[in-house]
Amino acid sequence: MSDSKLDSVDEGTTTREIHPLIDRFGRSVNNLRIALTQRCDHNCFFCHKEGEFEMGSELSIDEIEAIVSQAVRFGITSVKLTGGEPLIRKDIIEIVERLAPLIDDLSITTNGTMLEGLATSLKESGLNRVNVSLHTLRPEIHKALTGVDDIERIKQGIITAIKVGLSPVKINMTVIRGYNDNEIDDMIEYCGEIGAHLQLIELQEMPELEGFSYKDLWADMKQIEMNLKARAFKVERRNLHWRKRYSLISRNGPVVVEVVRSMHNPEFCQHCTRLRITSKGQIKPCLLRSDNLVDARPFIESERNLIEAIERAVRLREPYWQEED
């Protein structure tokens, strides 16, 4: 088994003059995550909502395009469209069409409920890849987690996305003790069967967990990683968050399993290269903080002021989890 570093992950090779953004901790910024909406047709009690808990007027297509147009000048090479549920937006295909020529790597995170009907159009519009939230393979657990009985529709959407060439298709599985922590092996086999990657995500402690006991729901990702390492024939690290990727052989074929361990993990913050844009147009330097937002919306029509807003947000970036010493 080898342990190597991925120097570039899921990025294209478009060459452009850039002015890299580097924060005061020496971390470069090349990844932008844009929430298109806070609306969603699921009601997952553990959803972190991209750290945005107040509804507001959603960014228009022109506003989104303006932000991305300036971001690429600073070395942003990867944009992920999120929500809420981004496919709820009726203009989602036009958004993808506008952004695809600007960015090397354009992807979407979705709950998959509308993916079957939109996958072909998304691919033809320039989308590179898709992450689909599927936290369980059991219909009763799926309904308990999401409040909706639509797991078969989501699975069909995943198959359609794979067939049309959105690659890789990643299955996002938030690991929740007492709900799905005993399904990891089953999900590995499922991903091997359909040809998807698996992304295991540590449960984050957020305000929306009120009413639930976080310590009872949290699963130890270190133990999960130990089990994956024992099975893996190759282990790689991504630049983003220093995440580990494990290459396994399942009964149904090869599977790549990535682990996102964000809680109390200084390595995660040390290697964070991401800025976030809320659905209301605020630049959010950190998922876990809401006291350092930079409102970009008033400056979108002024190229100079928008650039200054982006630079100010980068100056405000600070690792959330730090070594105690």
Strands 282-284 and 274-277: antiparallel
Taking the CA atoms of the chain, what radius of gyration do you get in angstroms? 19
Strands 2-6 and 28-29: unpaired
137-to-115, 181, 187 alpha-carbon distances in Å: 18, 12, 7
Side-chain-facing half-sphere of 166: CA atoms under 13 Å: 29
pLDDT of residue 317: 97
Give the domain ranges of the chain. Answer: 2-6+24-315
CB burial of residue 191 (10 Å; 0-12, 13-18, 19+): buried
pLDDT of residue 210: 66
**Cis status, amide bond into 20, omega within 30 of 0:** no
Residue 218: DSSP 8-state? B
pLDDT of residue 18: 64
Buried b (16+ CB within 10 A) or exposed e, 149-185: ebbeebbebbbbbbebebbbbbbbbbbbeebbbebbe
Going by C-beta distance under 8 Å and a sequence separation of 6 or more, which residues neighbour residue 213?
none
Sign for the CA dihedral angle at 162, 155, 9, 44 comes to: positive
Side-chain-facing half-sphere of 172: CA atoms under 13 Å: 16
**Cis status, amide bond into 84, omega within 30 of 0:** yes
| Residue 175, φ and ψ in degrees, nearest 5 | -85, 120
Report the chain (325 residues): mean pLDDT per 10 consecutive residues.
Answer: 40 53 96 97 93 88 97 95 98 98 97 98 98 98 97 98 97 97 98 98 81 89 96 95 96 96 94 96 95 95 93 96 76
Cβ-based neighbour number of residue 83 at 10 Å: 26
Rounded to the nearest angstrom, the gap between the alpha carbon of residue 95 and the centroid of all alpha carbons in its chain is 18
Structural contact between residues 203 and 178, judged by C-beta atoms closer than 8 angstroms: no
CATH number of 2-6+24-315: 3.20.20.70
Residue with tokens 């996102």: 260
